[in-house]
Amino acid sequence: MLKVTNLHASIGGKSILNGINLEVKPGEVHAIMGPNGSGKSTLSNVIAGRDGYTVTQGSIEYLGEDLLQLEPEERACEGIFLAFQYPVEIPGVSNMAMLKAAMNSIRKYHGQEEIKAGEFLKLIREKADLVEMKHEFLKRAVNEGFSGGEKKRNEILQMAVLEPKLALLDETDSGLDIDALKIVSHGVNALRSPERAMILVTHYQRLLDYIVPDYVHVLANGKIVKSGDKSLALELEAKGYSWIEDMDDTVAAVQQAS
Amino acid sequence: MITANENQSWVTAHADVALTGANVAWLKQQRQSALAQFEKVGLPGVRDEDWRYTNLRALKSNDYALSAATPLSIELVETKNPRLVFVDGHLDLTASTGLSDCVTLLKDSLELVKDSFGSTLPKQAHGFTSLNTAYAHDGYVVHLKPGQVLDGVLEVVFVSQSADAVSHTRNLIIAQANTQCTIVERHIGAHGTVYLNNVITEIIAGDNAHIDHYKIQQESDDAFHMGGVFINQSKNSQIKNHNITLSGLVTRNDIYSNLLGQGAHIEMNGLVVGQGRQHIDNHTEINHAVPNCTSDEYYKTVLDDHSRSVFRGRIIVAKDAQLTNADQQNNNLLLSKDAEADCKPQLEIYADDVKCSHGATVGQLDPVSLFYLKSRGINAESANALLTFAFANEVIQRINVDSVRQELTQILAGELLSGLEELV
């Protein structure tokens, strides 16, 4: 589904990603862990198409196409969804209006008819229940005045409504208390399916107790320095990121030597 | 530069018109001194500081005449509210409902307005204000006795339909103690018609009077609108003024409030949606003359194409006006590189124990918000439209009359959310 090959990206002339290789197949859940500044969020932003990043080398193939040629909205229409680390407040646009605009825009892209009002209402209420969000939140302006936990739940609600093929969850666990973390994880787990792939970007192992990944990758200095299964996350938790940074130094030393 | 001849032509053009209240001494005296003032200052020009961004060349290049009464030729949207309809400055009785003991016409109420007429006008009135006093023909008068409540919403529609017509309209809202009313003024014009609508509303709010005043301008794309809303507020009076400009070639509004009694509060909300070559100039002034008054000003502008806007927001806090709390916000959104917004907050604070805040921004849509919407699959055009609508809609959401708020939301959606109207 997604094939990232030797991806190098920079922002403002500063190199952030230094040769990422990653392959994700339908149904898989990949966790990307790493210390602050390792490039975790950059990777998800580059896949989603955020402005300001320059891909200097490498490629991203998605469903057999060159993803980097697509605008962010085209990527979304092709099934990529980014749950933001810091969801944006949009005063004056209701949650419902945004979701309806999004659904209809995606439908139009695929040559489908607009969703009927009744059908839409039923759908979003059902999905709101999934993330235990009160229905009145649907009428409120997008994320305006929402608590940190409510914003993250809202991201999962949007994901549930838009039913992406590839979901990127950027530090969805940050700022969540344990109850909110459970609700969000429940929502995410309910969306796991053999057709849908997910990439979880996280700093902490804690999230992975609730959303169990198939693969764990550790990112340091813009490179994946170690990959494994869920036990890698536990090992990382026990040994700390300094273990990885040491490892990265070793890798760098080996690369330089060769 | 205005020549004496240009100014004289305005006076001679109106010379043989039968003036309302020609034999009423106090009015005659006011008219004469206004005329003298006009002959002294003339029409404003860009050399006047208060007009430096607003060029009236197009207005001055045309001649205008007072129009005779003609039957309404525009179809108005239906309303359940009582509604007065003025056509080129004359009441169209057949189209109007709502005249009553407390809702009357200026020309029938001269005795009633004797002490109020002109009492709110700024001392340094500009030429259009002077012309209005000199030639005011008619207007609506709302007069509420102590404790009186005008139920529901009174709508007043000012239609301009005759080419090259000028109307000088003077309205008065005289609300004595403990009164309440909601008045919606609409200014609309026949498509493609050039005219000058010179209209002033004076509001005198007694102790604890509650007044909601709306001014919605949907003038013709070739029209000139020179407007004034001048307010005097007594103790604990609460006023909400909403000033919404959606069309018209050149619009100027002077909205002034004098807070003259402790506990008075004014809320001034403004929205400008400019496109084409529209020019919209809003001058507001809030004069905190006594202690313990509050003011809340919230003006937003959306400009596309070659449109231009001016916002001058002056807040004066007098030396004795301690414990004043004043807030002013003016945010301008430019959708085109050819649009221009000039904003000029002016805070003159002479007291030392006050809270005054102000903020002014001129900018484009937030790229992070745009990316957020696009990342949900919303195409660039719709994302722009949604955020523009949202920006403007924040002013509309401050309207507390449900029917007016809903109607304006729909109008705004029609203007800014083309193809996505059903979202609101």
Q: Do B387 and A84 make contact, defined as CB atoms within 8 angstroms?
A: no
Pairing verdict, β B165-175 and B65-66: parallel
- pLDDT band for position B279 (50/70/90)? very high
Q: Is B151 exposed, middle or buried (0-12, 13-18, 19+ CB in 10 A)?
A: exposed
Q: Residue A207's closest CA among A237, A235, A190, A185?
A: A185
> Which of B372, B390, B392 has its CB closest to that of A84?
B372
Q: For A67-125, write each residue's pLDDT tens digit.
A: 999 999 999 999 999 999 999 999 888 899 999 999 999 999 999 999 999 999 999 99
Distance from B53 to chain A by nearest Cα, in Å? 31
For residue A256, what pLDDT is reported?
55
Distance from B268 to chain A by nearest Cα, in Å? 19
For residue A249, what pLDDT is reported?
60
Q: What is the token pair recorded at B100? A: 């009553």
First and final C-alpha spacing in chain B: 48
Compute mean pLDDT per 10 residues along chain A, 258 residues long, and list them.
Answer: 96 94 96 90 95 95 96 97 95 90 94 94 94 92 92 94 96 88 92 96 90 94 92 86 70 53
Strand, helix or coil for residue B339: coil
**Distance from C-alpha of B332 to C-alpha of B310, rounded to nearest angstrom:** 10
Q: Do B394 and A97 make contact, defined as CB atoms within 8 angstroms?
A: no
HSE-up (13 A, CA, CB side) for residue B343: 21
For residue A45, which residues of chain B lie inside 8 Å, CB to CB? Answer: none
For residue A162, which residues of chain B lie inside 8 Å, CB to CB? Answer: 376-377
- Top mean pLDDT of A239-248, B1-10, B79-88 is at B79-88
From A203-217, A242-256, B13-27, B125-139, the region with the lowest mean pLDDT: A242-256
Q: Do B375 and A72 make contact, defined as CB atoms within 8 angstroms?
A: yes
For residue A77, which residues of chain B lie inside 8 Å, CB to CB? Answer: 377
Q: What is the pTM of this model?
A: 0.89
**Distance from C-alpha of A150 to C-alpha of A95, rounded to nearest angstrom:** 12
For residue A203, what pLDDT is reported?
86
**Distance from C-alpha of B9 to C-alpha of B5, rounded to nearest angstrom:** 6
> Which of B376, B387, B394 has its CB closest to that of A102?
B376
> Which of A84, A88, A92 has its CB closest to that of B394?
A92
Q: Which of A41, A74, A82, A93 to mutate to test the interface with B (most CBs of B within 10 A)?
A: A93
Q: What is the token pair recorded at B158? A: 């000012």
CA dihedral B370, B373, B378, B381 (to 10 degrees): -20
Pairing verdict, β A14-24 and A215-220: unpaired
Q: Do A102 and B378 make contact, defined as CB atoms within 8 angstroms?
A: yes
Q: For B214-251, write each residue's pLDDT tens digit.
A: 999 999 999 999 999 999 999 999 999 999 999 999 99
**Distance from C-alpha of B74 to C-alpha of B97, rounded to nearest angstrom:** 17
Q: Do A90 and B397 make contact, defined as CB atoms within 8 angstroms?
A: no
Residues in B lying within 8 Å of A, measured between beta carbons: 367-369, 371-380, 382-383, 386-387, 389-394, 397, 420, 423-424
Q: Residue B205's closest CA among B251, B237, B236, B181?
A: B237
- B/e letters for B268-294, b = 16+ CB within 10 Å, e = fewer, are bbbbbbbbeebbbbbbbbbbbbbbbbb
For residue B108, what pLDDT is reported?
96
For residue B387, which residues of chain A lie inside 8 Å, CB to CB? Answer: 90, 93
> Which of B387, B389, B423 has its CB closest to that of A100?
B423
For chain B, helix, strand, coil in percent to 5 are 25, 40, 40
Residues facing residue B330 across a β-bridge: B299, B360
Residue B2 has pLDDT above 50, yes or no: no
Q: For B52-61, write each residue's pLDDT tens digit.
A: 999 999 999 8
For residue A51, which residues of chain B lie inside 8 Å, CB to CB? Answer: 367, 371
Residues 6+ apart with CB under 8 A from A255: none
- Length in residues, chain B: 424
Q: Do A109 and B377 make contact, defined as CB atoms within 8 angstroms?
A: yes
Residue of A nearest to B390 (CA): A92
Distance from A162 to chain B by nearest Cα, in Å? 8
For residue B169, what pLDDT is reported?
98
**Distance from C-alpha of B228 to C-alpha of B230, rounded to nearest angstrom:** 6
Q: Residue B53's closest CA among B276, B304, B340?
A: B340
Mean pLDDT computed over B331-358 = 96
Residues 6+ apart with CB under 8 A from A25: A1, A197
Distance from A48 to chain B by nearest Cα, in Å? 7
Q: Do B374 and A71 make contact, defined as CB atoms within 8 angstroms?
A: yes
Cβ neighbour number for residue A190 with a 10 Å cutoff: 13
For residue A98, which residues of chain B lie inside 8 Å, CB to CB? Answer: 373, 376, 378, 386
**Distance from C-alpha of A28 to C-alpha of A253, rounded to nearest angstrom:** 33
**Distance from C-alpha of A219 to C-alpha of B269, rounded to nearest angstrom:** 51
For residue B424, which residues of chain A lie inside 8 Å, CB to CB? Answer: 97
DSSP assignment letter at B138: B
Q: Residue B258's closest CA among B282, B293, B299?
A: B293
Query: Do B165 and B195 touch, CB atoms closer than 8 A?
Result: yes
Q: What is the token pair recorded at B120? A: 């709110």
ipTM: 0.94
H-only helix segments in chain A: 40-48, 72-77, 95-109, 117-130, 136-139, 148-162, 178-190, 206-210, 230-239, 241-257
Residue of B nearest to A106 (CA): B377
Q: Do A48 and B387 make contact, defined as CB atoms within 8 angstroms?
A: no
Q: For B36-57, write each residue's pLDDT tens digit.
A: 999 999 999 988 999 999 999 9
Q: Do B387 and A93 make contact, defined as CB atoms within 8 angstroms?
A: yes
For residue A156, which residues of chain B lie inside 8 Å, CB to CB? Answer: none
Name the region of B412 (left: φ>0; alpha: ψ -120 to 50; beta: rest).
alpha
Q: Do A105 and B377 make contact, defined as CB atoms within 8 angstroms?
A: yes
Residues facing residue B180 across a β-bridge: B149, B210
Q: Is B202 exposed, middle or buried (0-12, 13-18, 19+ CB in 10 A)?
A: buried
Q: Do B377 and A71 make contact, defined as CB atoms within 8 angstroms?
A: no
Query: Do A239 and A246 touch, CB atoms closer than 8 A?
Result: no
Distance from B307 to chain A by nearest Cα, in Å? 24
For residue A112, what pLDDT is reported?
96
For residue B371, which residues of chain A lie inside 8 Å, CB to CB? Answer: 50-51, 72
For residue A88, which residues of chain B lie inside 8 Å, CB to CB? Answer: 368-369, 372
Residue of B nearest to A49 (CA): B375
Distance from B130 to chain A by nearest Cα, in Å? 41
Q: For Cα atoms B208, B116, B226, give the angle at the middle one, nearest 5 degrees.
A: 100
Q: Residue B284's closest CA among B240, B238, B229, B337?
A: B229
For residue B393, which residues of chain A lie inside 8 Å, CB to CB? Answer: 92
**Distance from C-alpha of B165 to C-alpha of B175, rounded to nearest angstrom:** 32
**Distance from C-alpha of B189 to C-alpha of B191, rounded to nearest angstrom:** 6
H-only helix segments in B204-313: none
Handedness of CA B1, B5, B9, B11 (dihedral sign): positive
For residue A180, give the amino acid letter.
A
Residue of A nearest to B424 (CA): A97
Mean pLDDT computed over B306-333 = 98
Q: Do B377 and A90 make contact, defined as CB atoms within 8 angstroms?
A: no
Q: What is the token pair recorded at B253? A: 């509004």
Distance from A240 to chain B by nearest Cα, in Å? 33
Residues facing residue B361 across a β-bridge: B331
DSSP assignment letter at B149: B
DSSP states of B294-323: EEEEEEEEEE-TT-EEEEEEEEEE-TT-TT
Query: Do B401 and B390 touch, CB atoms closer than 8 A?
Result: no
Q: Do B377 and A77 make contact, defined as CB atoms within 8 angstroms?
A: yes
Residues 6+ apart with CB under 8 A from B413: B389, B420, B421, B423, B424
DSSP assignment letter at B354: -
Name the region of B122 (left: φ>0; alpha: ψ -120 to 50; beta: rest).
beta
Residues 6+ apart with CB under 8 A from B170: B106, B117, B132, B133, B136, B138, B139, B199, B200, B201, B202
DSSP assignment letter at A112: P
